[in-house]
A and B are shown apart, each in its own frame.
Chain A
Amino acid sequence: MRRPLFGFRTVLLLTLLSAVGLPLPGRAGAFVPRDGSQVLETLRSTAFDPAARALRESRARLTADPGNLDLACSVARVAIERCRAEADPRYLGRAQAALAPWWELPAPPVEVLVLRATLKQSQHYFTNALADLDLAVRLSPRNAQVWLTRAAILTVLGDYPAARRACVPLAQLAPGLIGLTAAANVGSLNGEAERSNALLRQALAANPAAPVPEKAWAWTILAEADARLGHLPEAETEFRNALALGQHDPYLLGAYADWLLAAGRAAEAVRLLQNEARADGLLLRLALAEAAVSPRPPGFADHVAALQARFEAGHLRGDFVHQREEAWFLLHLRQQPREALRLATANWAIQHEPVDARLLLESALAVGDLPAAAPALEFIQATHLEDRECEKLVRQLRAL
């Protein structure tokens, strides 16, 4: 009888080992991690973040003393700031939870009104937010914060005369760059771009010691205005000045990425946003940039799938805050201009920023539907918006 080459147990062991040792690509769906030290989730950008700890501690104190107005407002404020820094909108919900005892009151204290307005606008309930601010103005007409929030919301809505009116008391109450930046922003959108930019440049030169967040904001506003005017080298310098101030600001990153994309520098935009996939708006720009480089980076398909999943989760939740991003996504990454036009139209009914106008014009052009673009065309004419990109789209639409 021939001796077996390998014993039965050896072969069984080898079989099992070969199956274990082979590289198994990640299967979609739930899994049991192999290694206890595997990091599943990163909670913040730095390991030891004093602000995160402070927020946790004050939230714990608030749980014990939920009626403490000062503590509640402080928790809500820090949570809103964390939302900005970490690009995690969960913090907005946490801020609302801190304000729970006052959330349904018709006339809560002024500090609650301002925070409530901020949180409502983040859900795109602009009318409710403005109603809170109207009441706040009556209760506390010398509160700079109330006027600034009001001016910002009115600017997003495209109601520039009302935004200008809010900027007048703001200029008196807020020294330095704040009042000027808010006013220059409205002016640059309302037919006075060159003059507003010159004023803002002067103000920046005159206030070198202004706080970093104020300077970063002013440089961003200036860069965006120059980008709209087609002053590309100036815009790039100003974006870089804002970035050099070292704040992690998703808004600034998004605006600079848009500029890089418009300038045909998609590869730089990919590098800029490589680690910013958590924020929907930045993930969208990352995917747009990846679509524009060749060969397409390996993460592109995953990024598009992640965006799709987030939009679907939003639909299921009944949110309507992603209409702008979804229209953009459908138009450029899914090639579904009809659906994009439907969303761009719905979005235009709510927000009137230049990017909203561009989206409506672009999707109307893609479908060849001139009447659909009419609301944006009328708005651009009425407000004298100076935006080279919009002007190009308007010419193309008129040639239809």
Chain B
Amino acid sequence: MKIRFPLPHVWLAIAVALQLLSLSARAHTQSTAYLTLQTTPTGLTGEWHLALRDLEDAVGLDLDDNGAITWAELLSRQEAVTAYALSRLHVRCDDQPTPWQVNGLLVDQHADGAYAVLRFAVAGPAHPRAVELTYRAFFDLDPKHRGLLRLEQGGVNRLAVFAPEAPTQAFALNTPPVTSPLGTFFREGVWHIWSGYDHLLFLLALLLPGVLRRRAGVWQPVTDARAAFFNVLKIVSAFTLAHSLTLSCAALGLIHLPTRLVESAIAASVILAAINNLVPAWSERSWLMAFGFGLLHGFGFANALRDLGLHPGQLAVTLFGFNLGVEIGQLAIVAVFLPLALSARHWRAYPALVLRTGSVAILAVAAVWFAERVGDFKWLPF
């Protein structure tokens, strides 16, 4: 090298000069991480986005040293990434050091490259009055690194920047009215089934023919009201059992399915339930259909529950409250539906008008939902 460059420092001088000139062409986005914290009914949850380029320098991700980081490499370094993150962010709730734990590793694409996303929960009090964060990620590697914090509470965002000279940020939180997580999640469960029209329509599609029986290709009312009641009970119980099963599995982190896949499949289940009423294929086994698709709807409930913020310390209470809310909400609907259907079942037009027209309407709405969810667009207002 010295033969080509007569002055040992000159190569650098050129680099320096070009460096100066290159300001106009230079990428100016320096190392930045994004931290989001939300207050939920049970405490604090958050997301931390760390650039893979920074993690590579801090813990080493490119295991085969080929200049490219794959998802498999990131996964195999998950423990090291988590340990690094835990050692570089310290949380104090109400003046007490509070542990936090990572419950998910994802990936996000930012304007300047790929980021690892750590989803976490702070195992502190449900309603801290004060939160203090001390952030020291990457500062030793890069004094120009900044951690950008967004704290969300009740629709209000507060922003702060962590820098080597300002690693600690403290916030006072407004104390919300004291409610137990059981009550909160019970209400959320009821609200979810009442406002989740897809679950409602699925249930309705199964219940519409519940007071009828098919004989020789013709719909006939079930004469014995008790038989009709038990038929409906069977369907509702199968649905309940199935979705409680998958809701618990998903909430406990045993199974994870992508939200969009679940939502699309739920729309498809409504379509199939409606078709079943129009072209009866398994009318004798509605309870089996309720069970099979109930499994799917459970994943949908789990996604809704996760959006509310799961709290590891109170998982059992949260899950119980939410599921109970869903069941009670569902029973309330059945309690309104069943007497009406029972009294209308002898009506001659019930099969044609209520069952057929109702099913066609349900089918139409569900078909639009399916298209919306698969295509990721919004057309219907609900």
Interface residues of A (CB under 8 A from B): 1-2, 4-6, 8-9, 11-12, 15-16, 18-20, 22, 24-25, 27, 29-33, 35-44, 46-49, 52-53, 77, 80-81, 83-84, 87-90, 92-94, 96-97, 100, 103, 114, 118, 121-124, 143-145, 148-149, 152-153, 156, 174-176, 178, 182, 211, 213-214, 217, 220, 249-251, 253-255, 278-282, 305-307, 309-310, 313-314, 316-319, 321-322, 324-325, 351, 353, 355
Assuming the A-B contacts A43-B53, A93-B145, are A49 and B67 also in contact, with contact meaning beta carbons closer than 8 angstroms in the complex? yes
Complex Cα gap A214–B14 (Å):
7
For A39, give its contact among B4, B24, B68, B111 (CB under 8 Å). Answer: B68
For A37, give its contact among B72, B117, B142, B272 (CB under 8 Å). Answer: B72
Residue B158 CB within 8 A of the other chain:
no
Please determine whether B159 and A30 come into contact, CB atoms closer than 8 angstroms. no
Rank and list the top 6 A-B pairs by shortest CB-CB distance, nearest first: A36-B72, A93-B144, A254-B25, A93-B142, A309-B111, A251-B22
Complex Cα gap A172–B280 (Å):
96
Please determine whether B112 and A310 come into contact, CB atoms closer than 8 angstroms. yes
Please determine whether B143 and A22 come into contact, CB atoms closer than 8 angstroms. no
User: Mask for B1-38, Cβ within 8 A of A = 1, else 0?
Assistant: 00011110111111111111111111111111000000
Closest-CB distance, B69 to chain A (whole angstroms): 4
Please determine whether A313 and B75 come into contact, CB atoms closer than 8 angstroms. no
B217 contacts which chain A residues (CB < 8 A)?
Answer: 2
Closest-CB distance, B17 to chain A (whole angstroms): 5
Residue B292 CB within 8 A of the other chain:
yes
Please determine whether A251 and B75 come into contact, CB atoms closer than 8 angstroms. no
Complex Cα gap A282–B285 (Å):
63
B245 contacts which chain A residues (CB < 8 A)?
Answer: none
Taking CB as reference atom, which chain B residue is nearest A121?
B20
Please determine whether A178 and B68 come into contact, CB atoms closer than 8 angstroms. no
Complex Cα gap A314–B281 (Å):
60
> Is the contact region of chain B dominated by helix, strand, or loop, or is it mixed?
mixed
Complex Cα gap A41–B6 (Å):
38
Interface residues of B (CB under 8 A from A): 4-7, 9-32, 47, 49, 52-54, 56-57, 62, 65-72, 74-75, 106-108, 110-114, 117, 140-146, 148, 159, 161, 217, 256, 258, 260-261, 264-265, 268-269, 272, 280-282, 284-285, 288-289, 292-293, 374-376
Please determine whether A90 and B20 come into contact, CB atoms closer than 8 angstroms. no
Closest-CB distance, B269 to chain A (whole angstroms): 7
Assuming the A-B contacts A11-B272, A43-B69, A309-B111, are A92 and B30 also in contact, with contact meaning beta carbons closer than 8 angstroms in the complex? yes
Please determine whether B4 and A211 come into contact, CB atoms closer than 8 angstroms. yes
For B110, give its contact among A1, A12, A15, A309 (CB under 8 Å). Answer: A309
Taking CB as reference atom, which chain A residue is nearest B216?
A1
9 A/B residue pairs, CB under 8 Å, sorted by A: A19-B265, A24-B261, A24-B374, A81-B12, A145-B12, A174-B10, A174-B13, A178-B13, A321-B23
Please determine whether B260 and A89 come into contact, CB atoms closer than 8 angstroms. no
Please determine whether B20 and A8 come into contact, CB atoms closer than 8 angstroms. no
Complex Cα gap A30–B74 (Å):
15
Complex Cα gap A372–B161 (Å):
33
Closest-CB distance, B285 to chain A (whole angstroms): 7
Please determine whether A253 and B289 come into contact, CB atoms closer than 8 angstroms. no
Please determine whether B268 and A144 come into contact, CB atoms closer than 8 angstroms. no
A148 contacts which chain B residues (CB < 8 A)?
Answer: 13, 16-17
Please determine whether A48 and B27 come into contact, CB atoms closer than 8 angstroms. no
Please determine whether A15 and B10 come into contact, CB atoms closer than 8 angstroms. no
Complex Cα gap A318–B30 (Å):
11
Complex Cα gap A316–B110 (Å):
15
B285 contacts which chain A residues (CB < 8 A)?
Answer: 8
Complex Cα gap A174–B7 (Å):
8
Please determine whether A8 and B13 come into contact, CB atoms closer than 8 angstroms. no
Closest-CB distance, B100 to chain A (whole angstroms): 18
Please determine whether A5 and B281 come into contact, CB atoms closer than 8 angstroms. yes
> Is the contact region of chain A dominated by helix, strand, or loop, or is it mixed?
helix
Please determine whether A16 and B16 come into contact, CB atoms closer than 8 angstroms. no
Please determine whether B27 and A35 come into contact, CB atoms closer than 8 angstroms. no
Complex Cα gap A103–B144 (Å):
13
For A310, give its contact among B9, B29, B54, B71 (CB under 8 Å). Answer: B29
Complex Cα gap A35–B74 (Å):
12
Please determine whether A41 and B68 come into contact, CB atoms closer than 8 angstroms. yes
Please determine whether B292 and A77 come into contact, CB atoms closer than 8 angstroms. no
A6 contacts which chain B residues (CB < 8 A)?
Answer: 281
A48 contacts which chain B residues (CB < 8 A)?
Answer: 65-67
Please determine whether B28 and A319 come into contact, CB atoms closer than 8 angstroms. yes
A43 contacts which chain B residues (CB < 8 A)?
Answer: 53, 56, 62, 67-69
B28 contacts which chain A residues (CB < 8 A)?
Answer: 89, 280, 310, 314, 319, 321-322, 325
A94 contacts which chain B residues (CB < 8 A)?
Answer: 57, 141-142
- Point out which of B17, B280, B375 has the most chain A C-beta atoms below 10 A from its C-beta: B17
Complex Cα gap A35–B62 (Å):
17
Closest-CB distance, A254 to chain B (whole angstroms): 3
A220 contacts which chain B residues (CB < 8 A)?
Answer: 21
Please determine whether A281 and B25 come into contact, CB atoms closer than 8 angstroms. yes
A44 contacts which chain B residues (CB < 8 A)?
Answer: 67
Taking CB as reference atom, which chain A residue is nearest B149?
A316
Please determine whether B24 and A52 come into contact, CB atoms closer than 8 angstroms. no
Please determine whether A15 and B142 come into contact, CB atoms closer than 8 angstroms. no
Closest-CB distance, B130 to chain A (whole angstroms): 24
A319 contacts which chain B residues (CB < 8 A)?
Answer: 28, 30
Please determine whether A47 and B18 come into contact, CB atoms closer than 8 angstroms. no
Complex Cα gap A276–B370 (Å):
39
Taking CB as reference atom, which chain A residue is nearest B56?
A43
Please determine whether B6 and A77 come into contact, CB atoms closer than 8 angstroms. no
Assuming the A-B contacts A27-B260, A40-B107, A84-B15, are A18 and B29 also in contact, with contact meaning beta carbons closer than 8 angstroms in the complex? no
A24 contacts which chain B residues (CB < 8 A)?
Answer: 260-261, 374, 376
A217 contacts which chain B residues (CB < 8 A)?
Answer: 14, 17-18
Complex Cα gap A267–B379 (Å):
38
Assuming the A-B contacts A211-B4, A251-B18, are A41 and B113 also in contact, with contact meaning beta carbons closer than 8 angstroms in the complex? yes
Assuming the A-B contacts A93-B31, A93-B145, are A324 and B114 also in contact, with contact meaning beta carbons closer than 8 angstroms in the complex? no
Please determine whether B117 and A30 come into contact, CB atoms closer than 8 angstroms. yes
B282 contacts which chain A residues (CB < 8 A)?
Answer: 4, 8
Closest-CB distance, A103 to chain B (whole angstroms): 8
B159 contacts which chain A residues (CB < 8 A)?
Answer: 316
Please determine whether B11 and A211 come into contact, CB atoms closer than 8 angstroms. yes
A305 contacts which chain B residues (CB < 8 A)?
Answer: 111
Please determine whether B13 and A97 come into contact, CB atoms closer than 8 angstroms. no
A37 contacts which chain B residues (CB < 8 A)?
Answer: 70-72
A16 contacts which chain B residues (CB < 8 A)?
Answer: 265
B68 contacts which chain A residues (CB < 8 A)?
Answer: 39, 41-43, 47
Please determine whether A40 and B281 come into contact, CB atoms closer than 8 angstroms. no
Closest-CB distance, B340 to chain A (whole angstroms): 28
Please determine whether A27 and B376 come into contact, CB atoms closer than 8 angstroms. yes
B71 contacts which chain A residues (CB < 8 A)?
Answer: 33, 35-38, 40
